[in-house]
Amino acid sequence: MMKRQYPTLAEVAKVAGVSLMTASRAINNRPGVSPEKREDILRIADEMGYVVNRAAQKLTGARTRIIAVVAELHTPFTSDLLLGMGAVARAADYEMLVYSLPVRDRRPPGSILDLLRQIVDGVIVILPYESDYLESMATAHIPVVTIEQGTESVFPSVTADNYQGGLSALQHLIELGHRRIAFISGHDRLTSARDRRRAYHDILAQARLPYDPDLEVDGDFSRKGGFEAAQKLLALADRPTAIFAANDISAYGAIAAIREAGLSVPGDISVVGFDDIPIASQLHPQLTTIRQPLQQMARASVNLLLALVAGLDAPSEQIVLPTQLIVRESTTALKAKRKKEEAVKVGVGR
Amino acid sequence: MMKRQYPTLAEVAKVAGVSLMTASRAINNRPGVSPEKREDILRIADEMGYVVNRAAQKLTGARTRIIAVVAELHTPFTSDLLLGMGAVARAADYEMLVYSLPVRDRRPPGSILDLLRQIVDGVIVILPYESDYLESMATAHIPVVTIEQGTESVFPSVTADNYQGGLSALQHLIELGHRRIAFISGHDRLTSARDRRRAYHDILAQARLPYDPDLEVDGDFSRKGGFEAAQKLLALADRPTAIFAANDISAYGAIAAIREAGLSVPGDISVVGFDDIPIASQLHPQLTTIRQPLQQMARASVNLLLALVAGLDAPSEQIVLPTQLIVRESTTALKAKRKKEEAVKVGVGR
DNA sequence: CGGCCGAACGTTAGCGCTAACGTTCTGTAG
DNA sequence: CTACAGAACGTTAGCGCTAACGTTCGGCCG
């Protein structure tokens, strides 16, 4: 269908009165062409509306200057991450394509890499959860960088420091005087959720606070989950004075439950989230949370990938980027009176 | 780099003891091969891990069974739309790639189509606003379907019926007895925003309600814009009893402002949004709104595109899909007393 | 002034595939 | 028994490009 619309390199070369190869060199900015001729060719190519055919390019084994990102599109941050990656890629004169992974697809899309490697030079895989098919990807002979795969990844990876972020969030609550701190967890399927939970356990130990299994409730990373988890926490005889929710969404669910119970945030209960989703600074109360370094993750992953593409044998690097505590309205110091009570009851931390 | 890892068709053919072309026919499910041989070849190809090289395929002018979607990734619904499109495409044995348009990029990405046509069989363009570069796309010789481009599109297009949706929303308010209805608008840059505004003007005329310019305030499609718009409306001497916000986000902004002013929704003021974003059914109050037929839009656009790809000369079809009024908690009938007052003041509508 | 070197170009082969046309062979009509 | 149609296969050319070699030619050295 519709042929002969775009000129080929051969046609450009003919018009320019040079050989095909000279035109190729000129266009790909390679040595072996005199400056005048190069300029000539480029001008003519432009006038003729020449566009390289990447399919042909790829077929010969050359780079196409396209990268791909494989991601579950509606996961909280993917769109921000992708936007960042696109910008970084474009700045490096690369184009970026996205493959949208079907939601919770059971089938390994290892074949997706088989497809992509025929088109692009490298792939970034955003897989928030551990997956069997990561291994199936190892056989696809194309540079791969993973995001959010934790430190066990076979590929070079970039990830936010979920563990340190969790520590900061909890440290913040402890500094505000809280001793009875609950944790609303996410799916353990997610590497990030596990790291945040680990931070919770470790900080208790570190601050010499007792671990109460009643204070750890599953929140499913969802608003509903957070809501129900908070209800369970509020029903406890000795309810917590602060809650660390594994993500912002469930934090807001918890806040809704707390308010519905006639209590206030942060007056009665302080709440810290994780992620710093955009509305965290707009919804009331503005949420104290942990910000993920999305822009840095985007930049790091693309740069890492491009290095691999360029053949720089970057060792299987694991880049972990720092998170940041953002203090807003949803947390406050434990009231003096209750603080004293707590101190008596629990014993003074560290 | 890394060559000779995947077998080529020629190798498969050799192992199967047939010619290259016979193997090609077998794999592409074309006539001219005996059933036994076909089965044989397919089995061997599978065992050898053969994967068609789409770059080579495309180079010969054949279909690659890949489509692309060009979209601004973080626009409200794109992710839902894309998910739906991906599912439909996969069901038709097509793969789908996404090109993430830089946010409010001034540069025409017409060149993007030049890139994509070398790789895919057709493109869906999601452009919520009118754009000059749509025309620049007309020259790319590849099937294109647009979404949300309104009826002036040069390409076959699929869109939600924003006008009818606006009418339903306002009709709902009128049926509840409201006469003094405000409109919080979006950017006029967006086709959808313009259609919703038009519905507002038309319904006033239709219901013989007076048009009061004070009741039409820009809300920018954002939470903040909705918040500020509502503040202006509340400051009016004769404030509205109902608000139609051009999208859910600004509706929630408006609700926040109303509550901050010590009024209740829907007790004092009813609010209708547009879009039915996921949290509209979760946030308090659950929002009465207009649902966009995203799944249908996804299905229609992909099917339309695949028809074009198949060469069926679908005329430049403009598909407009119906929206749906979802009544939840944010609207209620105007209180009898006030209703009477209003009736006297304004005159009875239609 | 011959020889040699390197920059500037050209030619050839082939990436993996398919369209288009050849070839072979079997069955059947005349 | 010949002719011939049609299914089942094979061969050839070429899609647009680049790697890997040729070729040419001006300049510089001994």
Pairing of strands B289-291, B324-326: antiparallel
Q: Which residues of A touch B68 (CB under 8 A)?
A: 97
CB atoms within 10 A of CB B313: 8
Whether residues A99 and B98 touch (CB distance < 8 A) is answered with: yes
Report yes or no: A83 at the B interface, CB cutoff 8 Å.
yes
Of A63-72, A203-212, B68-77, B242-251, which range is least confident? B68-77
| Superfamily (CATH) of domain B66-160+294-322 | Response regulator (3.40.50.2300)
Q: Alpha helix locations (H) across A110-243?
A: 110-116, 133-138, 162-175, 191-206, 223-234
- What SS3 class is residue A54? helix
- In contact, A163 and A199? CB cutoff 8 Å: yes
The mean per-residue pLDDT over the stretch A321-332 comes to 97
The CA–C1' separation of A91 and C7, in angstroms, is 33
pLDDT at residue B206 is higher than 50:
yes
Q: What is the pLDDT of residues A284-301, one digit of tens each?
A: 899 999 999 999 999 999
- Residue A141: CA count within 13 A, CB half-sphere: 10
Inter-chain contact B103–A114, Cβ cutoff 8 Å?
Answer: no
Please name the residues between 33 and 62 in chain A that touch chain B, using a CB distance below 8 Å: 51, 53-56, 58-59, 61
Q: How confident is the model at residue B312 (pLDDT cuts 50, 70, 90)?
A: confident
Provide the 8-state DSSP code for A280. G
pLDDT at B350 over 50: no
- With 60 as the cut, is the pLDDT of residue B52 above it? yes
State the pLDDT at residue A149: 64
Q: Which residue is nearest to nucleotide C7 (CA to C1')?
A: A32
* Residue A347 reports pLDDT greater than 50: no
Lowest mean pLDDT among A151-165, B161-175, B201-215, B323-337: A151-165
Looking at residue B65, its amino acid is R
Look over chain B and give the mean of its residue pLDDT values, rounded to a whole number.
88
Instruction: Give the number of A-B residue pairs with CB atoms closer than 8 Å.
Output: 119
N-to-C CA span, chain B = 75
- A96 CB within 8 Å of a chain B CB: yes
Reduce the DSSP state of residue A340 to 3 states and report it: helix
- To the question of domain B9-50 being in CATH 1.10.260.40, the answer is yes
> Taking CA atoms, what residue in B is nearest to A73?
B79
- DSSP assigned state of A159: E
User: How many other C-beta atoms can be found within 10 angstroms of the C-beta atom of residue B187?
Assistant: 17
Q: Per residue in B149-166, pLDDT tens?
A: 655 667 889 999 999 999
A350 pLDDT band, cuts 50/70/90, is very low
Q: Do B66-160+294-322 and B162-292+326-346 agree at the fold level?
A: yes
**What is the overall mean pLDDT for chain A?**
88
Q: For residue A112, name the pLDDT band (cuts at 50, 70, 90).
A: confident
Percent of chain A with pLDDT over 70: 87
| Bases on strand C under 7 Å from any protein CB | 7-12, 14-20
**How many angstroms separate the CA atoms of A125 and A144, rounded?**
7
Strands A270-272 and A242-245: parallel
**CA closest to B67 among chain A residues:** A99
Domain boundaries, chain B: 9-50, 66-160+294-322, 162-292+326-346
Does A281 contact chain B (CB < 8 Å)? no
Which residue on chain B is closest to A90 by alpha carbon? Answer: B102
- The residue among A346 and A319 whose pLDDT is bigger is A319
- For residue B331, which amino acid is it? T
Share of chain A above pLDDT 90, in %: 71
- pLDDT for A13-34, tens place per residue? 999 999 999 999 999 999 989 9
Query: CA–CA separation, A123 vs A306, rounded Å?
Result: 10
For chain B, helix (H) and strand (E) counts, in that order, are 13, 12
Interface test with A, best of B3, B9, B51, B64 (most A CBs within 10 A): B51
SS3 A49: coil
Nucleic acid strand D: bases within 7 A of protein CB:
7-12, 14-20
Identify the pLDDT of residue B283.
Answer: 87
Q: Measure CA to C1' and name the residue nearest D20.
A: A21
- pLDDT tens readout for residues B213-259: 999 999 999 999 999 999 999 999 999 999 999 999 999 999 999 99
Stretch B59-85: mean pLDDT: 90
What CATH class is the domain B162-292+326-346?
Answer: alpha beta
Q: Say if A5 is an interface residue toward chain B (CB within 8 Å).
A: yes
CA of B35 to C1' of C24 (A): 19
